[in-house]
Structure 1
Amino acid sequence: MDMMGVDRAQSAAASLIDWWALAGVSHTVSETPVNWLAPIAGRDAAASSAPVHAPLADVASARALMPETLDAFHAWLARDTTLVEAQWPQLDAQARRVLPAGTAAPRLMVIADFPDADDLATGKLLSGEAGRLFEAMLGALGQARDSVYLASLAVSRPAGGLLSDQDAMALAERMRHHVALVGPQHVMLIGDKTSRALLPMADPVNPLGLRALNLGRATVDAIGIAHPRFLLKHPSAKAQCWRTMQILLEAMA
């Protein structure tokens, strides 16, 4: 196959993954066969239909294992073998991790969902064409890459860019601890996956405005925007994204 054919195949695969993501598919595929038609007993059926929530004791114990300083947290993300990402079957122990960048107490902390292929290659979040658009967006906010704290929910990329609900919950709890250590004045969440993980409750009165990101003992104002990778494929969404960013710009003034 020539390079043009390879590019077409890669583009088709990426388009198919994005289509399923937009359709609402958010679960990775298990290799264990499941009999979906098997009858379920009444009590088990009720349990299976109930939403999954992490017990408060589990949340507290998970936080207790996380480092309490930002430098130690960075080192933990870089090396710890018990991270959620380290358990993903498609990744080996040497899978590259793309770590956060920035210093504590910034005016703005930016949180993406997970690294893209360009990010894994460069070791830097929001690289390539998406990174260039991201930097232009920061410029519109009067910020630059080196003036913000940039992180992602996951430090590795899940298969197909899909996160299970359980993994998203664990990564969100870790990120709340992370945000508390960073101590930003405002937070900008990039991508629908990120917003749904950290701001699960929609505000019907002000769906596009600032919302309180609960950190446990404190809150910080946060706002969600589309990911640059989405804007590159759907340019018509840029106008809405800019309107949302203007709300953040006014809050930061």
Structure 2
Amino acid sequence: MGGQKSALLAESYCDWWSLAGVDMLVGETPTGWLDLPAANDVAAEQPKPTSRRAIEAEPPPPLPAALQRQEIVEAPVAKGPIEIPAEWDDFQRWLAEHPDVPGSQWDARRVLPVGQPEAQLMLLTAWPEIDDQREATLFSGATGALLDAMLRAIGTIRADCYVASLAVTRPPGGRCAEEDMAELDRLLWHHLRLARPGRLLLIGSDIVRMAAALPLADARGRLLNINQDGGKMEAVAVAHPAMLLARPAQKAAAWDSLKLLNQGR
């Protein structure tokens, strides 16, 4: 064999061995130029079989929300009516200290009643004024001075009266929310039942509406009969002294009401 064909055949062998990776005289690991890359190997792309143990160890997929067990939420237990003490001394201590007193939630400073039960006249207002809250005394300052003058005009003094407010603190803005009215209504009638006054002077439009179910304009100049335990308690209604100081023209209407307290004396 020889000639030009032999040279071409030898060159072809060299090219083949070069492509096979035999491209150097010394080397322990062939290059493997004819091997397909792993990324292009179809067998390499197939997922490896998963053992049964591995399958059992995997957590199951979560159930749809509609099929999941729903947590049972217990409904809040409704609170029953507040228990109000039935004895006078216990009732007064309850007003001063107990956290469940209706109308005590609006301020930490309570304005408490002054006087004794079975007084000839009970002065009742809805709640303390701002000055009353600060001084811890009902009808303080200029409003108290005007009230004292009104009482002297009908021949009595504050010391001879039982002076109280329905709520022992003042609601924000002087307005009571409807949800608080039911317990305040119970407190009103319980308080009157224990106080047992001879007559009742309702002071301010809020307490007139609650006790007599009338607007103040309709209650002025009238002797009101408040239903108390099946009996009648005579009452009259006047504007709050703070209102009379701001609107002196209403003093005449207040005097018309006050004069009714002298009837039958």
Give the TM-score band, short-chain normalised. 0.5 to 0.7
Is 1:82 the counterpart of 2:100? The answer is yes
Asked if 2 retains the 8 angstrom alpha-carbon contact of 1:169 and 1:197, the reply is no
**Structure of higher RCO (CA pairs closer than 8 Å, 6+ residues apart):** 1
Residue of structure 2 in register with 1:178 after alignment: 191
The offset of 1:221, in angstroms, is 1.0
The offset of 1:223, in angstroms, is 1.3
Counterpart of 1:123, as a letter, is A
Is 1:97 the counterpart of 2:110? The answer is yes
Residue of structure 1 in register with 2:134 after alignment: 121
Q: 1:205 to 1:157 in 2, by over 3 A?
A: closer
Q: 1:240 to 1:205 in 2, by over 3 A?
A: closer
Long gaps (5+) in structure 1: 1-57
In structure 2, C-alpha distance between the alignment counterparts of 1:240 and 1:202, rounded to whole Å: 14
Is 1:226 the counterpart of 2:239? The answer is yes
Residue of structure 2 in register with 1:211 after alignment: 224
- Point out the more displaced range, 207-216 or 95-104: 207-216
Question: Any residues of structure 2 matched to 1:1-253 within 5 Å, and which?
Answer: 62=81, 65-88=83-106, 91=107, 95-201=108-214, 208-251=221-264, 253=265
Counterpart of 1:67, as a letter, is P
In structure 2, C-alpha distance between the alignment counterparts of 1:136 and 1:206, rounded to whole Å: 22
Identity among equivalent positions (%) equals: 34
In structure 2, C-alpha distance between the alignment counterparts of 1:197 and 1:169, rounded to whole Å: 11
Considering fraction of residues, name the structure with more helix.
1
TM-score, normalization: structure 2?
Answer: 0.65
Residue of structure 1 in register with 2:66 after alignment: none
Is the partner of 1:85 in helix, strand or coil? coil
- Which has the greater radius of gyration? 2
In structure 2, C-alpha distance between the alignment counterparts of 1:121 and 1:87, rounded to whole Å: 16
Q: Paired residues, what number?
A: 187
In structure 1, C-alpha distance between the alignment counterparts of 2:205 and 2:218, rounded to whole Å: 19
Asked if 2 retains the 8 angstrom alpha-carbon contact of 1:114 and 1:154, the reply is yes
Asked if 1 retains the 8 angstrom alpha-carbon contact of 2:216 and 2:238, the reply is no
Q: 1:103 to 1:211 in 2, by over 3 A?
A: same
Q: 1:202 to 1:155 in 2, by over 3 A?
A: closer
In structure 2, C-alpha distance between the alignment counterparts of 1:66 and 1:101, rounded to whole Å: 19
The offset of 1:203, in angstroms, is 11
Q: 1:96 to 1:234 in 2, by over 3 A?
A: same
Q: 1:137 to 1:207 in 2, by over 3 A?
A: closer
